[in-house]
């Protein structure tokens, strides 16, 4: 259109490379709440490559809503839903120790989905590593949210039960959940492409 | 093979991982050996745009330290090498500044060595250089680092493989969907032609967007050369969420 500013093209992505911890793991951002928080949950997992070997130079980031289902972000204007003091919903964990990552966080609440649907409690996940020229996106859902998961528009869109199950964190003892991420091969985790 | 209903199967939008977007790298790029066991082989699943990805971490509450953007003053003495200014603006696709967003960088020292236990390149560690910095963009989306020009370094990808000099950049932008990790290169580097990471971006113009430009105006006489690196992230300001009608 005449007079309209041409849109800028995006800067391309490049791998984090093997030394990401220098720049991105200077502080421990894996605890979104103090471990002693009464509602704290722990999410643990291992990042595996296509040969089933742990990836020891990776990075896992999470982004999630508060237990009320509200995101601590200006685009979520639902002010009637409470945010948690000191809880912002972002976490980052390296995988230097045998591919393992972990987070101490709060369980997110359900959040609105497309067309008036409700999304089950979930955590957005970004995976970075040497050998990943751009990050991978997946989601963590929770095994003990069976009913909500059954209504979730994203899970429902995945016909293959085996694929769907890679998105569900297994509940282990107490408040511990296990969520392994497999980049390739047998049992590969379902990865997403964000629609424009 | 798992049985599943045809109706459900129809709903599953798929996209092969070997995307045809030439302006972004694919996951599998065999010339970069590290992608072979790490690129997913199953189709990517299209994720509808929701509140979960038009929101994202806002870093106003985590102020970097005062000297975090000056990598030449983090130790008792001056680091070895060519002192440089790396600066630019972070913009969205509509050309609007991305304000108050965290920019994190890391890099090798002047000799091409990272201060990292895994880096075995027999070039010297510089006791006065850690190679990591961070800053927040200002109201114009502007950021500035003072650092030294990183050296090229060899890697094991193929015979006589060298990475062109580069600085790793990590940015958040306004939302989960605008997250970007990239590398900034230097103009005229003779190593570009043989580097599969750089060339994984198959469109030449797009590769050019990763190359900084020499900036005489930012150059400090008698002290440091200036390089300009503007970065464009996805993500207009997301429209505030509207409640669905009950
Ligand atoms: Fe590097």
pLDDT of residue B64: 74
Closest CA–CA distance from residue B4 to any residue of chain A (Å): 6
Nearest to B180 among A11, A78, A113 (CB): A11
Give a yes or no: residue B55 inside a domain: no
CA geometry: angle at B211 spanning B208 and B212, to 5°? 130
CATH homologous superfamily of domain A20-182? Aromatic compound dioxygenase (2.60.130.10)
User: Could you give the number of structural domains in chain B?
Assistant: 2
Contact A69, B53 (CB under 8 A): no
CA atoms within 13 A of residue A142's CA, in its CB half-sphere: 23
CA distances from A169 to A34, A103, A195, B240 (A): 21, 13, 24, 30
- In a shared domain, residues B27 and B84: no
Question: What is the residue extent of each domain of chain A?
Answer: 20-182
Q: Is the pLDDT of residue B114 over 90?
A: yes
- Under an 8 A CB cutoff, do B23 and A10 touch? yes
Give a yes or no: residue B41 inside a domain: yes
Higher pLDDT, B2 or A185: A185
Segment A82-132, tens digit of pLDDT: 999 899 999 999 999 999 999 999 999 999 999 999 999 999 999 999 999
Give a yes or no: residue B244 inside a domain: no
B117 contacts chain A (CB < 8 A): no
Q: Give φ, ψ of B206 to 5 degrees.
A: -65, -40
Taking residue A139's Cβ as centre, other Cβ atoms within 10 Å add up to 27
Give a yes or no: residue B38 inside a domain: yes
In angstroms, the CA A110 to CA A100 distance is 27
- In a shared domain, residues B163 and B224: yes
Which range has the worst mean pLDDT, B51-60, B208-217, B222-231?
Answer: B51-60
- Residues 4-63 in B contacting A (C-alpha not used; CB under 8 Å): 4-5, 8-13, 15, 17, 23-27, 29, 32, 34-42, 44-58, 61
CA geometry: angle at A109 spanning A103 and A115, to 5°? 125
pLDDT of residue A153: 97
- Under an 8 A CB cutoff, do A22 and B131 touch? yes
Integer-rounded Cα radius of gyration of chain A: 18
Contact B57, A90 (CB under 8 A): yes
Task: Give the structural domain span for B107.
Answer: 60-233
Contact B233, B91 (CB under 8 A): yes
List, as one string, the DSSP characters of B186-225.
-TT-TTGGG-HHHHTS--HHHHHTTB-EE-GGG-BTTTBE
- Indicate yes or no: pTM above 0.80: yes
pLDDT of residue A196: 83
- Residue B196 tokens, joined: 């599969």
Mean pLDDT (whole number) for B95-110: 96
Residues of A whose CB is below 8 A from B201: 12, 14
Q: Is the pLDDT of residue A184 over 50?
A: yes
- Residue B221 tokens, joined: 């006489």
Which residues pair with residue B228 across a beta bridge? B87, B213
In angstroms, the CA B49 to CA B214 distance is 38
Q: Which residue of A has its CA nearest to B115?
A: A22
Give a yes or no: residue B54 inside a domain: no
CA distances from B127 to B67, B76, B113, B147, B241 (A): 17, 9, 12, 15, 50
Taking residue B240's Cβ as centre, other Cβ atoms within 10 Å add up to 11
Nearest to A193 among B32, B47, B51 (CB): B47
- Residue A76 tokens, joined: 């979520």
Contact B227, B217 (CB under 8 A): no
Residues of B known to be catalytic: 114, 153, 163, 166, 168
Closest CA–CA distance from residue A118 to any residue of chain B (Å): 10
Tokens 């060339």 locate to B199
pLDDT of residue B246: 32
- In a shared domain, residues B136 and B221: yes
State whether the Cα torsion A168-A171-A176-A182 is positive or negative: negative
CA A130 to chain centre: 19
Give a yes or no: residue B156 inside a domain: yes
CB neighbour list of residue B170: distance below 8 Å, 6 or more residues apart: A16, A23, A24, B103, B104, B105, B180, B181
Q: Is the pLDDT of residue B242 over 80?
A: no
- In a shared domain, residues B39 and B134: no
B146 contacts chain A (CB < 8 A): no
B241 contacts chain A (CB < 8 A): yes
Segment A9-56, tens digit of pLDDT: 999 999 999 999 999 999 999 999 988 899 999 999 999 999 999 999
Nearest to A13 among B5, B12, B181 (CB): B181
Q: Is the pLDDT of residue B134 over 60?
A: yes
Q: Is the pLDDT of residue B183 over 60?
A: yes
pLDDT of residue A4: 46
Mean pLDDT (whole number) for A1-10: 64
Contact B123, B129 (CB under 8 A): no
Q: What is the 3-state secondary structure (H, E, C) of A29-94?
A: CCECCCCCCCCCEEEEEEEECCCCCECCCEEEEEEECCCCCCCCCCCCCCCCCCCCCCCCCEEEEE
Segment A61-85, tens digit of pLDDT: 999 999 999 999 999 999 999 999 8
Closest CA–CA distance from residue A142 to any residue of chain B (Å): 16
- In a shared domain, residues B35 and B108: no
Closest CA to A145 of A167, A128, A125, A126: A167
Give a yes or no: residue B17 inside a domain: yes
Residues of B whose CB is below 8 A from A72: 55, 58
Nearest to B132 among A26, A74, A126 (CB): A26
Segment A116-174, tens digit of pLDDT: 999 999 999 999 999 999 999 999 999 999 999 999 999 999 999 999 999 999 999 88
Spacing, Cα A130 to ligand 1 middle (Å): 10
Closest CA–CA distance from residue A173 to any residue of chain B (Å): 28
pLDDT of residue B11: 42
pLDDT of residue B62: 67
Return the number of CB contacts < 8 Å for A and B. Answer: 270
Closest CA to B96 of B153, B178, B29: B178
Residues of B whose CB is below 8 A from A153: 48
Confidence grade of residue B178 (pLDDT, cut at 50, 70, 90): very high
Residues of B whose CB is below 8 A from A89: 57
Q: What percent of chain A has pLDDT over 70?
A: 97
Confidence grade of residue B67 (pLDDT, cut at 50, 70, 90): confident
Nearest to A7 among B47, B53, B93 (CB): B93
- In a shared domain, residues B75 and B169: yes
Which residues pair with residue A193 across a beta bridge? B46
pLDDT of residue A21: 97
């Amino acid at each position: 259109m005449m007079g309209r500013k041409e849109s800028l093209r995006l800067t391309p992505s490049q791998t984090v490379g093997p030394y990401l911890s220098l720049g991105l793991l200077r502080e421990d951002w894996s605890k979104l709440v103090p471990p002693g928080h009464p509602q704290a949950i722990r999410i643990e997992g291992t990042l595996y490559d296509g040969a089933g070997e742990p990836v020891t130079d990776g990075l896992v980031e999470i982004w999630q809503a508060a237990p009320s289902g509200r995101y601590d972000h200006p685009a979520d204007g639902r002010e009637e839903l409470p945010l948690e003091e000191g809880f912002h919903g972002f976490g980052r964990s390296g995988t230097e120790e045998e591919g393992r990552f972990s987070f101490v966080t709060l369980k997110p609440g359900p959040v609105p989905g497309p067309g008036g649907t409700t999304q089950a409690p979930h955590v957005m996940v970004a995976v970075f590593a040497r050998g990943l020229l751009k990050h991978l996106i997946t989601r963590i859902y929770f095994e003990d949210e069976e009913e909500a998961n059954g209504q979730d528009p994203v899970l429902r869109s995945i016909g293959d039960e085996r694929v769907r199950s890679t998105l569900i964190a297994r509940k282990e003892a107490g408040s511990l959940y296990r969520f392994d991420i497999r980049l390739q091969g047998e049992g590969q985790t379902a990865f997403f492409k964000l629609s424009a | 093979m798992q049985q599943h209903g045809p109706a459900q199967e129809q709903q599953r939008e798929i996209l092969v991982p070997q995307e045809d977007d030439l302006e972004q790298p694919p996951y599998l790029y065999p010339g970069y050996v590290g992608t072979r066991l790490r690129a997913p082989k199953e189709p990517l699943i299209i994720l509808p745009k929701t509140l979960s990805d038009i929101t994202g971490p806002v870093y106003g509450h985590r102020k970097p330290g005062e000297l975090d953007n000056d990598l030449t003053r983090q130790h008792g003495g001056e680091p070895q090498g060519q002192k440089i200014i790396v600066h630019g603006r972070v913009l969205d696709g509509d050309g609007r500044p991305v304000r108050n967003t965290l920019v994190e960088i890391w890099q090798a020292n002047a000799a091409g060595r990272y201060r990292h236990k895994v880096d075995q390149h027999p070039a010297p560690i510089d006791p006065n250089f850690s190679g990591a910095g961070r800053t927040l963009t200002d109201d114009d989306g502007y950021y500035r680092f003072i650092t030294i020009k990183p050296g090229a370094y060899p890697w094991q990808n193929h015979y006589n493989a060298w990475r062109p000099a580069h600085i790793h950049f990590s940015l958040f932008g306004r939302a989960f969907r605008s997250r970007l990790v990239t590398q900034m290169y230097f103009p005229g580097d003779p190593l570009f032609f043989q580097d599969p990471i750089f060339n994984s971006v198959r469109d030449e113009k797009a590769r050019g967007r990763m190359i900084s430009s020499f900036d005489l105006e930012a150059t400090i006489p008698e002290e440091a050369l200036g390089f300009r690196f503007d970065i464009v992230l996805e993500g207009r300001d997301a429209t505030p969420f509207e409640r669905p009608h009950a």
